[in-house]
Amino acid sequence: MAVYKRPATLKKNPSGFCPGCMHSLSTKIIAEVVDEMGQKDNCLHIVPVGCSTLNLVYWQGDILGAAHGRAPAVATGFKRTNPERLVFAYQGDGDLAAIGLAEIMGAANRGENFTVIFFNNQTYGMTGGQMAPTTLIGQKTTTTRYGRDAETTGYPMKMCELLATLEAPAFVARYALNTPKGVMEAKKAIRKGFEIQMAGKGFSFIELLGNCPTNWGMTPLQTLEYMESNTIPYFKPGVYKDKYKDEVK
Amino acid sequence: MIELNVMLCKGCSYCIKFCPKKILELGTDRNKFGHFYPHLTDEAKCISCGICATICPEGAIELPEKEKEEQ
Ligand SMILES: Cc1ncc(C[n+]2csc(CCOP(=O)(O)OP(=O)(O)O)c2C)c(N)n1
Ligand code: SF4
Ligand code: SF4
Ligand code: SF4
Ligand SMILES: [Mg+2]
């Protein structure tokens, strides 16, 4: 018999996300973990630019806006001067894998002791659905009208796989939010990332595969199927690096 | 038993899709933001599994504690 209460780390007002947008879902499970760990008043959420910024008026707790792509740089400064705080950056794929590529690589490579939660919806949601570095081959966006073509735009970037090649990161994992099982796995991974951070064991990165019903031009239910047959086969869920497997459960 | 906060619901229907008992259905009324929202078609069949609450992006579905004591 399950018991469920909406997390106190979310404001009581509705989120600003579109119907069915999984930004809401990821924010909700992050808030649940923060509540469950008793970190509501000790946590700092950092959002850069993108629909993640809608959390500025939804997150009940300390939240800071960073310049586009620069959340890991802001998190570095904040965490180094406030090591006791639970710090995480919540970044979109355009933000993290395009304009912010240098910052995420740098922070991960230095093994900074904070957590990055990467919301990958394979598009620039906030600006109207342009191609992102993570857009799938063949995926239609406003800037790839006939579908993304590798010849001219390269291949969708696999951030977990890239970051896992670095020596420093402690935990790197990816989960998909299109089923209840995926949501539960994602939540467990977020908890693990936060526990690694609070134990002072370094950088954790959790990628959440999500959607953008508005710019994908689909109903929320259609995005679930699309993710199953397109997103998940390319961006394979799983743990890519787990340095302290035996020490932090 | 589930409790729906109608004001938070955006009618995405994820809860309806994943309810193992298939007892959630979108109604014809809209909330004040214009979204249709679901209701239980057969309360007695709800097993309080919480799957609808897990997948709801908005945290609109709660399963209150008090039910535990009643059992
Ligand atoms: C310096 C700068 N460049 C460009 C923009 C325009 N801009 C706003 S959001 C965004 C991309 C957001 O995409 P993503 O990070 O994937 O977030 P989503 O909205 O999809 O969650 C861009 C390019 C900006 N605000 N600032
Ligand atoms: S534009 Fe896309 S990513 Fe942004 S809130 Fe709407 S559905 Fe979500
Ligand atoms: S708690 Fe389970 S059985 Fe009851 S409405 Fe939700 S998903 Fe269906
Ligand atoms: S999952 Fe939540 S927001 Fe979506 S229809 Fe069900 S109650 Fe409403
Ligand atoms: Mg995006």
**Minimum-distance CB partner of A21 among B33, B55, B57:** B57
Judge if pTM exceeds 0.90: yes
Mean pLDDT by 10 residues, chain A (249 residues): 95 98 98 98 98 98 98 98 98 98 98 98 98 98 97 98 98 98 98 98 98 98 98 98 79
Domain assignments of chain B as residue spans, ordered by start: 3-70
Q: Is residue A12 part of a domain?
A: no
Is position A13 within any domain? Answer: no
CATH of the domain at A58: 3.40.50.970
Over residues A121-177, the pLDDT tens digits come to 999 999 999 999 999 999 999 999 999 999 999 999 999 999 999 999 999 999 999
- Which of helix, strand or coil describes residue A107? helix
Query: Is A80 within the bounds of a domain?
Result: yes
| Shortest alpha-carbon distance between residue A26 and chain B (Å) | 8
Alpha helices in chain A (DSSP H): 22-36, 71-81, 93-94, 101-110, 150-153, 159-164, 180-198, 213-216, 220-226, 232-234
Inter-residue contact A55 to A49 (CB < 8 Å): no
CATH 1.10.3720.10 fits B3-70, yes or no: no
Is A17 a member of any domain? no
Helix A180-198, helix A22-36: angle, nearest 10:
50
> Residue A236 has which token pair?
């394979």
Are the CB atoms for A22 and A52 separated by under 8 Å?
Answer: no
Contact A91, A50 (CB under 8 A): yes
Q: Between A and B, how many residue pairs show a Cβ–Cβ distance under 8 A?
A: 78
Domain of A209 in residue numbering reads as: 22-242
Q: Which residue is closest to B37 within chain A, CA to CA?
A: A19
The amino acid present at A123, given as its one-letter code, is T
Q: Integer distance in angstroms from the first to the last C-alpha of chain A? A: 25
User: Helices (DSSP H) in A12-149: which residue ranges?
Assistant: 22-36, 71-81, 93-94, 101-110
Distance from CA of B2 to the nearest CA of A (A): 9
Q: In terms of DSSP bridges, do strands A204-209 and A171-176 run parallel, antiparallel, or are they unpaired?
A: parallel
Nearest C-alpha to atom 10 of ligand 1 is from which residue? A50
Residues of A in contact with B67 (CB under 8 A): 1, 3
Q: Per the structure, how many domains does chain A have? A: 1
**Is A9 part of a structural domain of the chain?**
no
Name the DSSP letter for residue A50: S
A59 in any annotated domain? yes
Q: Where are the beta strands (DSSP E) in A77-193?
A: 86-92, 115-120, 171-176
